[in-house]
Structure 1
Amino acid sequence: MSNQKQKASLLDLTLILSNAVDLINPILHNHHKQVAYIAYHLAKEVALEEKKHNDLLIASLLHDIGGLTLEDRLLTLQFEVEKPYQHAITAYLLLKNYDALQDVATIIKYHHLPWENGEGQTVGDEIVPFESHIIHLADRIAVLINRDKEILSQVNRISRLLEAQNKKMFHPTIIKAFNKIKFKESFWLDIVSPFTDYRIRRMWIGNSSLLDLDDLIKMAKIIGQVVDFRSRFTALHSSGVAAVAESIAQRCNWTAEECRKIRIAGYLHDIGKLAIPNNILEKKDKLTLEEYNIVKAHTYYSYYLLDSIDALREINEYASLHHERLDGSGYPFHHDEKSLNEGSRIMAVADVFTAITEDRPYRVGMPKEEALGLMEKMANNNALDHQLISLLKSNYDEINSIRSSAQKQALIEYEGFSQEINTIRSYDDDEEMFDHSSYSELIYIGRVQ
């Protein structure tokens, strides 16, 4: 089995996810990258060990991915965040099982922990990473910036607000570092510069190691979970699409490597849905025309998020064109059969098949005859590929069993995740004030460790 290196790095995949979660509202545009830039310069000033710089960069770019809804994300933009540990620990839970991101997950878990005159050095018997305190200050600097006003005129106000909370909220060494670099106009102008991607890439120390297919699959699965776990309505969808697409590709005599690529595409195909508000995604009634148009934009976002990485071009074509139709009636590009390759056609079939056969909280999946009837009708109308529908029909029970098994495993993962999140939220309801002791207690509740 070929497992060649793909020319995509951990930083590439991180930037895709970071950009995606910042799409949900214009207020959040570039927030993660601004925090990464500030954290990088604070780290340089305090002479953070070089080997820790890259984990700090990744953690900064992903620090708010635990804000699974727009409301969660907007709350993090308050200077004194109410119950900040909820989204921090949610992000930790999403990332901690991927070996390459375990240290990153721990940094993010504590990125809102206040210094509290030194109490913030540890939580229980765990040492809090110094990088967590760097991101804490960097994040608070970023949220104090008024995007509607000229940046240099805001420096004194931001400095006063930070100094007022020095010993309570922030590590004194990091505050000293900020006080040294705050006089550089370039520091502030870079934060609000439109050229952040270029600067972020230059912050990476050493060569950015390329991911092989195994690591791409792991990272793509994490991204799929960030997309799916926002809503119980779609919590299992990407895992089902990935499994079905891979199974169909195998029956089309694709190579093992090609099948793994389309599995990756299945995990990534709905990444653009991170830009769609939850109230629309979870609406049980028929969508209004405006709401439907908002949903249709998700494939456009998916395409351009993935298109930023040349090495993912093939995977992108499979992933992002899953709502295109052979007769040209799909969206967002209205490609037709002349321009849709076999991978895009497989993904379209896998997406429809998974969507209609999977159970969701508000309805059960279609039975076999009804599902096949609908898909054959779509093939007869030249929306889906006839040959692929015939292949699906001939192998229906086996492919459906593969979908079901993949989604049962995803359900176990989602229920475990949900149980931990509900523990956090129930504690959140009981606590009136956030402090070091409440953070410490929460970390050791249930299975959070």
Structure 2
Amino acid sequence: MIISLQDAINLLNIIIEPIFPDLASHMQRTTYISLSLARALELPEDRVRNIYLAASIHDIGLLAKKQREITADNLSNENLMFHHEEIGEAMVAGISFPPEVQSMIRHHHIHWNSQHPDEYPLDNHIIHMADEFDLYLRKCPKDFIVNADEIINDFLMAHSDYPPELIVTLRKLSQRDAFWFRLESQRLHSVLKRITPVANMLMDSQDFLEFCLLISRIVDKYSSFTMTHSTSVSNVSCKIANLMGFSLHDQTEIAIAGYLHDIGKVHIPLAVLEKEGRLTDNEYALIRKHSYKTLEILALIKPLKRITPWAVNHHERLDGGGYPFGLTARDLDLPSRIMAVADVFTALTENRPYRQGMAAQKALTILEEEVAGNKLDGDVVDIVKRHLDDVYQCVLRV
């Protein structure tokens, strides 16, 4: 698998948007403003790329706040914003981003001090200005270009703690019609895809696997009932694939499918996802939607075509009794069967807020019952049985 960094960022935006559309919009507009400033300043291309990447995920820490709603109004709320920079830096830990990117995420709310002008790099101040400028624009009347001079003057009067060259550059940008028209666009994500500086930055399967760790953290943090579920399914499915003799490349791609298998849950109401008691028929119907939504999301990213069925099919069963398509044994390849077993085993053995996970042997008994009922693949479950302790160790417990 070869996937561009831009495709990975697009996937991130697609996942965040249904949960917090205002936050997704804010991060996209901050990215566009940051990119515009960096290019107008004629910064070296490696710095432009780092600024673009950091701006794309600068507020990622807000997703760990367990906030039920993040809107344009509370994006400036001190309680919500408290420590989100440090949380964001922690969320990207373990991912091979340049250290400059991690620094920009950690320090994107710093203020420029004329007494210590070099305390932080200019790149950090670019994201700070872009972030505050977008939040300011959200309070302005639409048709920005009509009031462009007034907007810039009032913004800089209220926010003057930026390096002088940034103030000059923002004023220059404000003279370009396209700058304002793009900021008003309802399809800014499409604009960013056209002008991105990272389109030619390619990731192989191992690189993208690291990026998927960030995606899984977002999906799992959406619901406190599944805080480490996606990571555990990835671990378990990869371990089973290893034990079944899959190549290292295929193990990595199966692990990616594990990370992504539940991304469709961002379209399911939290009240349904986090209900402790028995679901009603209507609620169960909503839950069943998530695997189809996973398909809709992954289908938008062409390099993920091979692993998409593996992620989507984790609730399909050999007898045709699963969902969303009611596939049968002849339709389900081995990676899809592994994913189904990994999902069930993880769900049974991981801790949830309302119950402790089952012991490994008890979970194995249930898997064997599913094999007897022609639901799960017997060969895959037999691998789990023969290496039960090793597989059980792959499930994270918090």
TM-score normalised by length of structure 1? 0.76
- 1:214 lines up with 2:206 in the alignment: yes
Letter matched to residue 82 of structure 1: E
Q: 5 Å matches for 1:229-378? A: 229=221, 233-276=225-268, 280-287=272-279, 292-378=284-370
Residue pair 1:36, 1:61 contacting (<8 A) in 2 also? yes
Give the counterpart letter for 2:108 in structure 1. Answer: H
Alpha-carbon spacing, 1:243–1:166, altered in 2? closer, same or farther (3 Å): closer
Cα–Cα, structure 1 residues 93 and 79, in superposed 2: closer, same or farther, change >3 Å?
Answer: closer
CA deviations on 1:50-95 (whole Å, 9 max, x unpaired) are 2201111111111121112573772675474425352222111112
Aligned equivalents of 1:95 and 1:208: distance in 2?
A: 22
CA pair 220-27 structure 1, distance change in 2 beyond 3 A: closer
Q: Tell me, yes or no, if the aligned pair for 1:79 and 1:140 is still in contact at 8 Å.
A: no
1:22, 1:31 within 8 Å by CA — same for their partners in 2?
A: no
Aligned to 2:95: 98
Using the TM superposition, give the Cα deviation of residue 258 of structure 1 relative to its aligned residue in structure 2, in angstroms: 1.0
Counterpart-to-counterpart distance in 2, 1:12 and 1:50: 19
Q: Does 1:49 align with 2:41?
A: no
Structure 1 unmatched runs, 5+: 1-5, 412-449
Identity score, percent: 32
1:403 to 2:398 alignment? no
The amino acid of 1:403's aligned partner reads C
- Structure 1 residue aligned with 2:13: 18
Moved more, 205-214 or 239-248: 205-214
Q: Compared with structure 1, are the counterparts of its residues 181 and 218 closer, same or farther at alpha carbon in structure 2 (3 Å cutoff)?
A: same
Is the counterpart of residue 166 in structure 1 residue 159 in structure 2? yes
Q: Which moved more, 1:14-23 or 1:374-383?
A: 374-383
Secondary structure of the 1:176 match is helix
Question: Would the alpha carbon gap of residues 98 and 79 (structure 1) be closer, same or farther in structure 2, given more than 3 Å must change?
Answer: closer
Q: Secondary structure at the match of 2:322?
A: coil
Q: Deviations over 1:178-205 (max 9, x none)?
A: 2222233322222233543443234344
What amino acid sits opposite 2:70 in the alignment? L
CA distance in 1, matches of 2:344, 2:174: 53
> 1:212 offset after TM fit, Å?
2.8
Which stretch of the first structure deviates more once superposed, 242-251 or 327-336? 327-336
User: Could you tell me whether the CA contact under 8 Å between 1:307 and 1:313 is conserved in 2?
Assistant: yes
Question: Are the equivalent residues in 2 in contact too, given 1:145–1:151 (CA < 8 A)?
Answer: no
What secondary structure sits across from 1:66 in the alignment? Answer: helix
2:4/2:203 contact within 8 Å kept:
yes
Corresponding residue of 1:416: none
Residue 71 (structure 1) aligned with residue 67 (structure 2):
yes
Is the Cα contact below 8 Å between 2:117 and 2:163 reproduced in 1?
no
Contact map agreement 1:34 1:192 (CA 8 A) in 2: no
Q: Report the count of equivalent residues.
A: 395
Write the distance in 2 (CA, Å) between the matches of 1:146 and 1:351. 45
8 Å CA contact retained: 1:229, 1:235: yes
Residues 75 and 191 from structure 1, CA distance in 2 versus in 1: closer, same or farther, beyond 3 angstroms?
Answer: closer
Rounded Cα–Cα distance in structure 1 between residues aligned with 2:389 and 2:220: 25
TM-score, with normalisation over the residues of structure 2? 0.85
CA offsets, 1:115-170, max 9 Å, x none?
3x547856xxxx423222222222233333379955545646643541331324x4
Counterpart CA distance in 2 for 1:16 and 1:267 is 13
Q: Quickly say closer, same or farther: Cα 1:358–1:179, change in 2 above 3 A.
A: same
Cα distance 1:368–1:71, how it changes in 2: closer, same or farther (>3 A)? closer
